[in-house]
Amino acid sequence: MTKTTERSIDELFSGDPERADAVVFGRRTDATRRGFLGGAGIAAVGAAVGATIPFATNMPAGLVPAALAQDKSASAPTGAAAGPQFLEFPGKDKGLVVIGDKPLVAETPEHLLDDDTTPYTKLFIRNNGIPPEAPTNPDSWKLTIDGEVNKTLEVTLGELKARGKPRKLRMVLECGGNGRSFYTPAARGNQWTNGGAGCPEWTGLPLRDLLEAAGLKSSAVYTAHYGADVHLSGDASKETLSRGVRIPKALDEHTLLVWAMNGEPLPAIHGGPLRLVVPGWAGSASHKWLKRIWIRDKEHDGSGMGGTSYRLPIKPMVPGAKADPNNFKVMESMPVRSVISSPMNGAKFAAGTSEVALRGAAWAGDLPISKVDVSIDFGSSWAGMSLAKTTNPFDWTRWSGKVRLPSDGYYEVWVRATDGSGKLQPHVAPNWNPSGYGGNPMHRIAVLVG
Protein backbone atom coordinates (compact mmCIF):
# COMPACT_ATOMS: atom_id res chain seq x y z
CA MET A 1 0.00 0.00 0.00
CA THR A 2 1.37 3.39 -0.98
CA LYS A 3 1.76 5.82 1.86
CA THR A 4 0.77 9.42 1.16
CA THR A 5 2.09 12.44 3.02
CA GLU A 6 -0.19 15.40 3.67
CA ARG A 7 1.49 18.76 3.10
CA SER A 8 0.36 22.25 3.96
CA ILE A 9 -0.21 24.70 1.10
CA ASP A 10 2.94 26.56 2.19
CA GLU A 11 5.04 23.40 1.95
CA LEU A 12 3.56 22.57 -1.47
CA PHE A 13 4.41 25.99 -2.89
CA SER A 14 7.89 26.17 -1.32
CA GLY A 15 9.25 23.42 -3.59
CA ASP A 16 8.14 24.17 -7.17
CA PRO A 17 5.74 27.13 -7.11
CA GLU A 18 4.79 26.98 -10.77
CA ARG A 19 3.97 23.27 -10.60
CA ALA A 20 2.03 23.94 -7.40
CA ASP A 21 0.07 26.61 -9.25
CA ALA A 22 -0.91 24.06 -11.85
CA VAL A 23 -1.83 21.43 -9.25
CA VAL A 24 -3.87 23.75 -7.02
CA PHE A 25 -5.27 26.36 -9.40
CA GLY A 26 -4.71 25.08 -12.94
CA ARG A 27 -2.43 28.06 -13.59
CA ARG A 28 -0.99 28.17 -17.12
CA THR A 29 2.79 28.03 -17.43
CA ASP A 30 3.45 28.58 -21.16
CA ALA A 31 6.08 31.18 -22.10
CA THR A 32 3.61 33.95 -22.86
CA ARG A 33 1.56 33.54 -19.70
CA ARG A 34 4.12 32.17 -17.26
CA GLY A 35 3.31 33.15 -13.72
CA PHE A 36 -0.18 34.49 -14.32
CA LEU A 37 -3.63 32.99 -14.07
CA GLY A 38 -5.52 31.67 -17.02
CA GLY A 39 -9.33 31.67 -17.10
CA ALA A 40 -9.69 28.33 -15.36
CA GLY A 41 -7.10 29.32 -12.78
CA ILE A 42 -8.89 32.57 -11.99
CA ALA A 43 -12.10 30.66 -11.41
CA ALA A 44 -10.31 28.13 -9.20
CA VAL A 45 -8.66 30.75 -7.00
CA GLY A 46 -11.87 32.76 -6.83
CA ALA A 47 -13.75 29.70 -5.66
CA ALA A 48 -11.03 28.99 -3.09
CA VAL A 49 -11.15 32.47 -1.55
CA GLY A 50 -14.92 32.81 -1.88
CA ALA A 51 -15.10 35.77 -4.27
CA THR A 52 -14.05 37.12 -7.62
CA ILE A 53 -10.54 38.62 -7.69
CA PRO A 54 -10.54 41.97 -9.54
CA PHE A 55 -6.75 41.98 -10.00
CA ALA A 56 -6.26 38.23 -10.47
CA THR A 57 -4.21 38.60 -13.64
CA ASN A 58 -1.54 40.46 -11.63
CA MET A 59 -0.96 37.57 -9.22
CA PRO A 60 2.66 36.38 -9.48
CA ALA A 61 3.56 32.72 -9.83
CA GLY A 62 3.81 30.84 -6.57
CA LEU A 63 1.75 33.34 -4.57
CA VAL A 64 -0.41 31.66 -1.97
CA PRO A 65 -3.39 33.99 -1.45
CA ALA A 66 -3.32 35.55 2.00
CA ALA A 67 -6.77 34.07 2.69
CA LEU A 68 -5.39 30.56 2.16
CA ALA A 69 -1.89 30.89 3.54
CA GLN A 70 -1.22 29.02 6.76
CA ASP A 71 -1.55 31.39 9.71
CA LYS A 72 1.94 30.92 11.13
CA SER A 73 0.98 32.80 14.27
CA ALA A 74 -1.38 29.90 14.97
CA SER A 75 1.43 27.35 15.22
CA ALA A 76 1.36 25.71 18.62
CA PRO A 77 4.36 25.23 20.94
CA THR A 78 6.12 21.90 20.85
CA GLY A 79 3.92 19.18 22.30
CA ALA A 80 0.77 21.32 22.33
CA ALA A 81 -2.41 20.64 20.41
CA ALA A 82 -2.51 21.85 16.81
CA GLY A 83 -3.84 25.34 16.20
CA PRO A 84 -3.33 28.61 18.08
CA GLN A 85 -2.75 28.54 21.80
CA PHE A 86 -3.89 31.84 23.23
CA LEU A 87 -2.14 33.35 26.21
CA GLU A 88 -3.57 33.07 29.70
CA PHE A 89 -1.54 35.51 31.80
CA PRO A 90 -2.62 38.07 34.42
CA GLY A 91 -3.50 41.38 32.79
CA LYS A 92 -2.55 40.28 29.27
CA ASP A 93 -4.85 40.43 26.26
CA LYS A 94 -6.26 36.99 25.51
CA GLY A 95 -5.54 37.53 21.81
CA LEU A 96 -1.78 37.11 22.29
CA VAL A 97 -0.56 33.81 20.80
CA VAL A 98 1.80 31.48 22.66
CA ILE A 99 4.63 30.28 20.39
CA GLY A 100 6.79 28.80 23.15
CA ASP A 101 6.04 27.57 26.64
CA LYS A 102 9.46 26.61 28.09
CA PRO A 103 10.43 29.42 28.34
CA LEU A 104 7.25 31.45 27.87
CA VAL A 105 7.11 33.26 24.52
CA ALA A 106 3.99 34.99 23.17
CA GLU A 107 3.50 37.31 20.23
CA THR A 108 1.01 40.05 19.41
CA PRO A 109 -1.07 39.62 16.24
CA GLU A 110 -0.70 42.62 13.93
CA HIS A 111 -4.25 43.89 14.48
CA LEU A 112 -3.49 44.29 18.20
CA LEU A 113 -0.57 46.62 17.41
CA ASP A 114 -3.05 49.41 16.76
CA ASP A 115 -2.20 51.69 19.70
CA ASP A 116 0.21 54.60 19.39
CA THR A 117 1.69 53.52 22.71
CA THR A 118 1.66 49.76 23.22
CA PRO A 119 -0.08 48.96 26.52
CA TYR A 120 1.13 46.30 28.94
CA THR A 121 -1.80 44.13 27.92
CA LYS A 122 -0.58 43.85 24.31
CA LEU A 123 3.21 43.77 24.62
CA PHE A 124 4.82 40.53 23.51
CA ILE A 125 6.59 38.23 25.99
CA ARG A 126 10.04 36.74 25.42
CA ASN A 127 11.86 34.86 28.16
CA ASN A 128 15.09 32.87 27.94
CA GLY A 129 15.27 31.37 31.42
CA ILE A 130 13.29 31.11 34.64
CA PRO A 131 12.26 34.61 35.82
CA PRO A 132 13.40 35.57 39.32
CA GLU A 133 11.06 36.18 42.21
CA ALA A 134 9.86 39.76 42.39
CA PRO A 135 11.70 41.59 45.22
CA THR A 136 9.67 42.75 48.19
CA ASN A 137 11.53 46.06 48.11
CA PRO A 138 12.26 46.95 44.45
CA ASP A 139 14.30 50.03 45.40
CA SER A 140 16.88 47.78 47.07
CA TRP A 141 17.65 46.04 43.75
CA LYS A 142 21.37 46.46 43.08
CA LEU A 143 23.22 47.02 39.80
CA THR A 144 26.99 46.64 39.48
CA ILE A 145 29.14 48.17 36.72
CA ASP A 146 32.69 46.86 36.59
CA GLY A 147 35.45 45.74 34.25
CA GLU A 148 37.23 48.34 32.08
CA VAL A 149 36.23 51.26 34.31
CA ASN A 150 38.21 53.49 36.64
CA LYS A 151 36.08 52.46 39.60
CA THR A 152 33.52 49.74 40.17
CA LEU A 153 30.09 51.28 40.64
CA GLU A 154 27.33 49.73 42.73
CA VAL A 155 23.98 51.45 42.84
CA THR A 156 20.55 50.48 44.12
CA LEU A 157 17.42 51.19 42.12
CA GLY A 158 16.39 53.74 44.75
CA GLU A 159 19.72 55.55 44.31
CA LEU A 160 19.41 55.35 40.55
CA LYS A 161 16.01 57.05 40.64
CA ALA A 162 17.49 59.88 42.71
CA ARG A 163 20.47 60.52 40.42
CA GLY A 164 18.69 62.88 38.05
CA LYS A 165 15.56 63.74 36.14
CA PRO A 166 14.30 60.57 34.43
CA ARG A 167 13.57 60.46 30.73
CA LYS A 168 10.29 59.21 29.31
CA LEU A 169 10.66 57.88 25.78
CA ARG A 170 8.31 55.86 23.58
CA MET A 171 10.62 53.45 21.79
CA VAL A 172 10.30 50.20 19.85
CA LEU A 173 11.34 46.95 21.51
CA GLU A 174 11.69 44.09 19.02
CA CYS A 175 12.78 40.49 19.35
CA GLY A 176 15.80 39.64 17.18
CA GLY A 177 13.89 36.68 15.73
CA ASN A 178 10.84 38.69 14.68
CA GLY A 179 9.72 37.44 11.26
CA ARG A 180 11.49 34.07 11.60
CA SER A 181 8.47 32.09 10.37
CA PHE A 182 8.71 33.67 6.92
CA TYR A 183 11.86 31.76 5.98
CA THR A 184 11.88 28.72 3.69
CA PRO A 185 13.26 26.26 4.58
CA ALA A 186 12.20 26.83 8.17
CA ALA A 187 14.77 28.36 10.50
CA ARG A 188 15.18 27.10 14.03
CA GLY A 189 13.71 28.96 16.97
CA ASN A 190 10.38 30.47 17.98
CA GLN A 191 8.30 30.97 14.84
CA TRP A 192 7.51 34.68 15.12
CA THR A 193 5.41 36.39 12.47
CA ASN A 194 5.46 40.21 12.94
CA GLY A 195 4.27 40.17 16.55
CA GLY A 196 7.57 40.20 18.44
CA ALA A 197 7.51 43.98 18.68
CA GLY A 198 5.84 46.83 20.53
CA CYS A 199 6.35 50.48 21.39
CA PRO A 200 5.67 51.31 25.06
CA GLU A 201 6.80 54.45 26.87
CA TRP A 202 9.86 53.72 29.01
CA THR A 203 10.99 55.69 32.07
CA GLY A 204 14.61 55.64 33.17
CA LEU A 205 18.05 57.21 33.03
CA PRO A 206 20.56 57.00 30.18
CA LEU A 207 23.09 54.22 30.77
CA ARG A 208 25.83 56.67 29.81
CA ASP A 209 25.23 58.60 33.06
CA LEU A 210 26.47 55.61 35.07
CA LEU A 211 29.21 54.71 32.60
CA GLU A 212 30.56 58.25 32.86
CA ALA A 213 30.34 58.07 36.66
CA ALA A 214 32.32 54.83 36.65
CA GLY A 215 34.80 56.24 34.17
CA LEU A 216 35.36 54.22 31.02
CA LYS A 217 38.96 53.28 30.35
CA SER A 218 40.42 53.77 26.88
CA SER A 219 40.40 49.97 26.58
CA ALA A 220 36.58 49.80 26.89
CA VAL A 221 35.11 48.22 23.74
CA TYR A 222 31.94 46.34 24.62
CA THR A 223 29.34 45.85 27.33
CA ALA A 224 28.29 42.50 28.77
CA HIS A 225 24.85 42.24 30.39
CA TYR A 226 23.77 39.86 33.15
CA GLY A 227 20.35 39.32 34.69
CA ALA A 228 18.86 37.50 37.67
CA ASP A 229 16.92 34.88 35.70
CA VAL A 230 18.02 31.26 36.09
CA HIS A 231 18.92 28.78 33.36
CA LEU A 232 16.01 26.57 32.26
CA SER A 233 17.82 23.57 33.71
CA GLY A 234 17.60 25.18 37.15
CA ASP A 235 21.40 25.11 37.43
CA ALA A 236 22.37 28.51 38.83
CA SER A 237 25.94 28.04 37.60
CA LYS A 238 24.81 28.01 33.96
CA GLU A 239 24.49 31.25 32.03
CA THR A 240 20.99 31.93 30.71
CA LEU A 241 21.79 34.67 28.24
CA SER A 242 24.47 37.34 28.26
CA ARG A 243 24.68 39.73 25.35
CA GLY A 244 26.21 43.17 24.96
CA VAL A 245 26.65 46.13 22.64
CA ARG A 246 29.46 48.27 21.33
CA ILE A 247 30.37 51.19 23.60
CA PRO A 248 29.06 53.88 21.19
CA LYS A 249 25.58 52.30 21.34
CA ALA A 250 25.81 52.01 25.13
CA LEU A 251 26.59 55.74 25.29
CA ASP A 252 23.66 56.75 23.08
CA GLU A 253 21.33 59.02 25.04
CA HIS A 254 18.36 56.76 24.18
CA THR A 255 19.88 53.62 25.70
CA LEU A 256 18.12 53.58 29.06
CA LEU A 257 18.20 51.87 32.43
CA VAL A 258 14.44 51.46 32.84
CA TRP A 259 12.27 51.03 35.94
CA ALA A 260 8.82 52.04 34.63
CA MET A 261 6.68 51.32 31.57
CA ASN A 262 3.73 53.47 30.52
CA GLY A 263 3.94 55.36 33.80
CA GLU A 264 3.73 52.27 36.01
CA PRO A 265 6.47 50.27 37.78
CA LEU A 266 8.10 47.92 35.28
CA PRO A 267 6.15 44.62 35.34
CA ALA A 268 8.14 41.59 36.45
CA ILE A 269 7.38 39.69 33.22
CA HIS A 270 9.01 42.53 31.28
CA GLY A 271 12.17 42.69 33.39
CA GLY A 272 11.09 44.58 36.48
CA PRO A 273 12.29 46.05 38.66
CA LEU A 274 15.21 47.07 36.36
CA ARG A 275 16.10 46.39 32.75
CA LEU A 276 18.03 47.84 29.86
CA VAL A 277 16.31 49.18 26.75
CA VAL A 278 18.70 49.37 23.79
CA PRO A 279 16.35 50.72 21.12
CA GLY A 280 16.67 49.75 17.48
CA TRP A 281 18.76 46.64 18.19
CA ALA A 282 17.70 43.05 18.85
CA GLY A 283 15.64 42.87 22.04
CA SER A 284 18.01 40.35 23.61
CA ALA A 285 20.45 43.23 24.17
CA SER A 286 17.77 44.97 26.29
CA HIS A 287 18.50 42.74 29.24
CA LYS A 288 15.76 42.06 31.79
CA TRP A 289 16.18 41.77 35.58
CA LEU A 290 19.50 43.55 35.15
CA LYS A 291 22.12 42.91 37.85
CA ARG A 292 25.49 43.57 36.25
CA ILE A 293 27.12 45.34 33.31
CA TRP A 294 30.67 44.19 32.72
CA ILE A 295 32.71 46.54 30.51
CA ARG A 296 35.03 44.51 28.30
CA ASP A 297 38.10 45.20 26.18
CA LYS A 298 36.83 43.03 23.33
CA GLU A 299 33.58 41.91 21.72
CA HIS A 300 31.57 40.06 24.35
CA ASP A 301 31.55 36.27 24.01
CA GLY A 302 28.74 35.37 26.41
CA SER A 303 25.77 33.09 25.77
CA GLY A 304 23.96 34.43 22.71
CA MET A 305 27.06 36.04 21.19
CA GLY A 306 28.72 33.17 19.30
CA GLY A 307 28.18 30.83 16.37
CA THR A 308 24.99 31.79 14.55
CA SER A 309 23.22 33.12 17.67
CA TYR A 310 21.98 36.66 17.02
CA ARG A 311 24.37 36.78 14.08
CA LEU A 312 23.84 37.27 10.34
CA PRO A 313 25.72 35.92 7.32
CA ILE A 314 28.35 38.27 5.88
CA LYS A 315 28.16 36.57 2.48
CA PRO A 316 24.78 35.07 1.46
CA MET A 317 24.48 31.34 2.08
CA VAL A 318 22.46 28.69 0.28
CA PRO A 319 19.15 28.27 2.15
CA GLY A 320 19.32 25.16 4.28
CA ALA A 321 23.08 24.78 3.90
CA LYS A 322 25.48 24.19 6.78
CA ALA A 323 26.65 27.45 8.32
CA ASP A 324 30.28 28.55 8.53
CA PRO A 325 30.61 30.46 11.84
CA ASN A 326 33.42 32.54 10.33
CA ASN A 327 30.92 33.97 7.84
CA PHE A 328 28.75 35.55 10.54
CA LYS A 329 28.70 38.93 12.27
CA VAL A 330 26.76 40.25 15.25
CA MET A 331 23.23 41.43 14.45
CA GLU A 332 22.84 45.06 15.48
CA SER A 333 20.27 47.46 13.98
CA MET A 334 17.01 45.72 13.12
CA PRO A 335 15.66 45.80 9.53
CA VAL A 336 12.82 47.94 8.21
CA ARG A 337 9.36 46.50 8.94
CA SER A 338 5.75 47.61 8.67
CA VAL A 339 2.39 46.15 9.65
CA ILE A 340 -1.24 46.80 8.86
CA SER A 341 -3.05 47.05 12.19
CA SER A 342 -6.48 47.94 10.76
CA PRO A 343 -8.35 46.30 9.22
CA MET A 344 -7.32 42.86 10.40
CA ASN A 345 -6.55 39.98 8.09
CA GLY A 346 -9.78 38.41 6.83
CA ALA A 347 -11.91 41.53 7.31
CA LYS A 348 -15.25 41.53 5.49
CA PHE A 349 -17.05 44.62 4.20
CA ALA A 350 -20.56 45.14 2.91
CA ALA A 351 -21.33 44.90 -0.79
CA GLY A 352 -20.76 48.20 -2.53
CA THR A 353 -17.94 49.34 -0.23
CA SER A 354 -15.71 51.45 -2.45
CA GLU A 355 -13.17 52.81 0.04
CA VAL A 356 -11.30 51.24 2.94
CA ALA A 357 -9.38 53.16 5.61
CA LEU A 358 -5.99 51.68 6.56
CA ARG A 359 -3.58 52.28 9.38
CA GLY A 360 -0.54 50.66 10.90
CA ALA A 361 3.01 51.13 12.10
CA ALA A 362 6.51 51.06 10.62
CA TRP A 363 10.00 51.06 12.14
CA ALA A 364 13.58 50.46 11.02
CA GLY A 365 16.06 49.88 13.84
CA ASP A 366 18.44 52.83 14.08
CA LEU A 367 16.99 54.47 10.97
CA PRO A 368 13.89 56.61 10.39
CA ILE A 369 11.02 55.69 8.08
CA SER A 370 10.99 57.74 4.89
CA LYS A 371 7.77 56.43 3.36
CA VAL A 372 5.08 53.75 3.54
CA ASP A 373 3.24 52.51 0.45
CA VAL A 374 0.34 50.09 -0.02
CA SER A 375 -0.88 48.08 -2.98
CA ILE A 376 -4.23 46.40 -3.67
CA ASP A 377 -3.28 44.94 -7.08
CA PHE A 378 -0.54 42.49 -6.07
CA GLY A 379 2.23 45.07 -6.33
CA SER A 380 1.47 46.40 -9.81
CA SER A 381 0.90 49.88 -8.40
CA TRP A 382 1.51 51.56 -5.06
CA ALA A 383 -0.09 54.43 -3.14
CA GLY A 384 1.70 56.50 -0.53
CA MET A 385 0.34 56.71 3.01
CA SER A 386 0.42 59.64 5.45
CA LEU A 387 3.06 59.44 8.18
CA ALA A 388 2.53 60.79 11.70
CA LYS A 389 5.35 62.62 13.45
CA THR A 390 7.51 60.58 15.80
CA THR A 391 8.40 61.64 19.34
CA ASN A 392 12.05 60.56 19.12
CA PRO A 393 14.34 58.67 16.68
CA PHE A 394 13.30 55.25 18.07
CA ASP A 395 9.55 55.79 18.19
CA TRP A 396 7.66 53.83 15.56
CA THR A 397 6.00 55.71 12.71
CA ARG A 398 2.23 55.47 12.68
CA TRP A 399 0.83 55.62 9.17
CA SER A 400 -2.67 55.91 7.72
CA GLY A 401 -4.52 56.36 4.45
CA LYS A 402 -7.34 55.11 2.25
CA VAL A 403 -7.60 52.90 -0.80
CA ARG A 404 -10.38 52.88 -3.37
CA LEU A 405 -11.78 49.55 -4.51
CA PRO A 406 -13.12 49.31 -8.09
CA SER A 407 -15.69 46.60 -7.33
CA ASP A 408 -16.78 43.93 -4.89
CA GLY A 409 -14.49 40.93 -4.54
CA TYR A 410 -11.36 39.57 -2.90
CA TYR A 411 -8.44 41.95 -2.34
CA GLU A 412 -5.04 41.70 -0.79
CA VAL A 413 -3.61 44.79 0.84
CA TRP A 414 0.18 44.80 0.81
CA VAL A 415 2.27 47.28 2.78
CA ARG A 416 5.95 48.09 2.41
CA ALA A 417 8.04 50.63 4.28
CA THR A 418 11.23 52.36 3.16
CA ASP A 419 13.92 53.32 5.67
CA GLY A 420 16.05 56.46 5.75
CA SER A 421 18.77 54.86 3.63
CA GLY A 422 16.32 54.04 0.83
CA LYS A 423 16.04 50.32 1.58
CA LEU A 424 12.58 48.83 1.01
CA GLN A 425 10.98 45.80 2.56
CA PRO A 426 11.38 42.80 0.25
CA HIS A 427 8.65 40.54 -1.12
CA VAL A 428 10.14 37.52 0.67
CA ALA A 429 12.36 37.07 3.74
CA PRO A 430 15.95 37.92 2.69
CA ASN A 431 19.40 36.55 3.51
CA TRP A 432 18.40 33.10 4.79
CA ASN A 433 20.24 32.05 7.94
CA PRO A 434 19.81 29.01 10.20
CA SER A 435 18.56 31.03 13.16
CA GLY A 436 16.09 33.06 11.09
CA TYR A 437 17.13 36.64 11.86
CA GLY A 438 16.11 39.59 9.66
CA GLY A 439 12.95 38.14 8.13
CA ASN A 440 11.06 41.31 7.15
CA PRO A 441 8.92 40.67 4.07
CA MET A 442 5.98 42.90 3.28
CA HIS A 443 2.91 42.35 5.43
CA ARG A 444 -0.28 41.49 3.54
CA ILE A 445 -3.87 40.97 4.57
CA ALA A 446 -6.95 39.57 2.86
CA VAL A 447 -10.07 41.74 2.54
CA LEU A 448 -13.45 40.55 1.21
CA VAL A 449 -16.03 43.00 -0.10
CA GLY A 450 -19.60 41.80 -0.71
Summarised one tens digit per residue, pLDDT across range 144-175 is: 999 999 999 999 999 999 999 999 999 999 99
SS3 content of the chain, % helix, strand, coil (to 5): 15, 30, 55
> pTM of this prediction?
0.92
Give the list of residues 6+ apart from residue 162 with CB closer than 8 angstroms, or none.
none
- pLDDT(23) > 90: no
Q: How confident is the model at residue 69 (pLDDT cuts 50, 70, 90)?
A: confident
Q: How confident is the model at residue 2 (pLDDT cuts 50, 70, 90)?
A: very low
- pLDDT(28) > 60: no
Round to whole Å and give the CA distance between 345 and 410. 12
Give the list of residues 6+ apart from residue 380 with CB closer than 8 angstroms, or none.
55, 58
**% of the chain at pLDDT higher than 90:** 82
Per-residue pLDDT of 245-286, as tens digits, reads: 999 999 999 999 999 999 999 999 999 999 999 999 999 999
- pLDDT(1) > 50: no
Q: What is the mean pLDDT of residues 190-209?
A: 98
Q: How confident is the model at residue 18 (pLDDT cuts 50, 70, 90)?
A: low
pLDDT of amino acid 214: 98
Range among 1-10, 35-44, 62-71, 418-427 with highest mean pLDDT value = 418-427
pLDDT of amino acid 46: 82
- pLDDT(336) > 90: yes
CATH class of the 337-449 domain in this structure: mainly beta
Q: How confident is the model at residue 15 (pLDDT cuts 50, 70, 90)?
A: low
- pLDDT(14) > 80: no
Cβ count near 270 (within 10 Å): 20
Domain layout of the chain by residue ranges = 9-58, 125-330, 337-449
pLDDT of amino acid 34: 42
Mean residue pLDDT of the chain comes to 91
- pLDDT(35) > 70: no
Fold of the domain built from segment(s) 125-330: Sulfite Oxidase; Chain A, domain 2 (3.90.420)
Round to whole Å and give the CA distance between 130 and 127. 8
Contact yes or no for 242/300 (Cβ under 8 A): yes
Per-residue pLDDT of 381-416, as tens digits, reads: 999 999 999 999 999 999 999 999 999 999 999 999
